[in-house]
Amino acid sequence: MDTTKNTPVMRFLTLGGAHVAVMNAPGATSTATHTWQCLGCDQGNDYAQPRTHARQEANRHAAGCRSIPKTTD
């Protein structure tokens, strides 16, 4: 497992094509190791949780979010 903090370890696509990233959490504990964030609408969690929970929440969000990728403007 990648131990670099804030490094995406998996991604999901929203309905609009934006990424939802599951990342290693800063300040992780032995059981709470990951966070997730939608890179389209910025929704996510800012607390560490088990990888399986972060994955499930990120996937659930991606399945219903219609955000498109942000522009670079």
Over residues 13-22, the pLDDT tens digits come to 999 999 999 9
First to last CA, the chain: 34
pLDDT of residue 72: 79
13-55 pLDDT, tens per residue?
999 999 999 999 887 788 899 999 999 999 999 899 999 999 9
Strand 8-13 and strand 19-24: the pairing is: antiparallel
Which string of DSSP letters, residue by residue, matches 13-58?
Answer: E-TTS-EEEEEEPTT--SS--EEEEETTT--B--S-B-HHHHHHHH
Task: Give every CB contact of residue 30 below 8 A, 6+ residues apart in sequence.
Answer: none
Q: For residue 2, what pLDDT is reported?
A: 46
Q: Which residue has the higher pLDDT, 6 or 1?
A: 6
